[in-house]
Amino acid sequence: MKPGAFTRAVGTAQLAGMRGVPDIAFPNFRAGPIMFRLLFAVVLLSVGITPVTSAQPASVDLAPRALAEAWLDAYARQDFDRMRSLMTADTVFVDPTSFEIAAVTQPIDWRGPEAITAGIAAWGMDHAVYTVDRSYEASGNVVFSGHIDVVYGDGASSQTFRYPITTIIRVADGHVVEHRDYTDFAGALRIAAPD
């Protein structure tokens, strides 16, 4: 397994352990008439809000986040078998900021496991280290904002570049359906290899 990592910076927009999602608490549902509690819960659920009582810890559905983090870890390690296992036949990998960058030989706009892994493999990337400064999840999208240190090649001839990046992973039915990057190619810096 190649080195690589998916990290979060310490002290970043993480409130009450919710990984960037504000702590939401609702009134104790044990008080009041049963019909009021039932109606209130139905209204909250109909707009996509899940009540949190004092008896349970504040949390969100971690399934999309866990899947998105597993995806980024596999991508950082260049573990193409793991990446394929997380995709559908129609998964999209796109970076609209790459479309008119001279240093990028082709636009990053691929569909399906084979096109995605072949496109990434063509970069000559050995591994990467994501550092996430801010992250949040909404409606099946997990947003990561920070930078990625990409190591191209290996050994003494390797080169490492740091790209400021925002990555949005869209998850549906237990799979990554879209990986969308917004990369600041103009802000890229050549750096020493990450630890």
For residue range 82-135, list pLDDT tens digits in order.
Answer: 999 999 999 999 999 999 987 776 899 999 999 999 999 999 999 999 999 999
Same domain, 112 and 79: yes
Same domain, 50 and 69: no
Residue 160 domain-assigned (yes or no)? yes
Residue 158 domain-assigned (yes or no)? yes
Same domain, 51 and 126: no
- Both tokens assigned to 81: 């078998």
For residue range 46-91, list pLDDT tens digits in order.
Answer: 444 444 433 333 323 348 999 999 999 999 999 999 999 999 999 9
Residue 18 domain-assigned (yes or no)? no
Q: Which residues does residue 181 pair with via DSSP β-bridges, in sequence order? A: 167
For residue range 146-184, list pLDDT tens digits in order.
Answer: 999 999 998 888 999 999 999 999 999 999 999 999 999
Residue 81 domain-assigned (yes or no)? yes
Instruction: Look up the CATH number of the domain holding residue 79.
Output: 3.10.450.50
Domain holding 52, by residue range, is 24-57
Q: What is the dihedral of CA 46, 52, 57, 62, to 10 degrees?
A: 10
Instruction: Count CA atoms closer than 13 A to 161's CA, side-chain side.
Output: 15
Distance from first CA to last CA of the chain, Å, rounded?
16
For residue range 130-152, list pLDDT tens digits in order.
Answer: 999 999 999 999 999 999 999 99
Residue 19 domain-assigned (yes or no)? no
Same domain, 52 and 65: no
Residue 165 domain-assigned (yes or no)? yes
Question: How many domains is the chain built from?
Answer: 2
DSSP 18: S
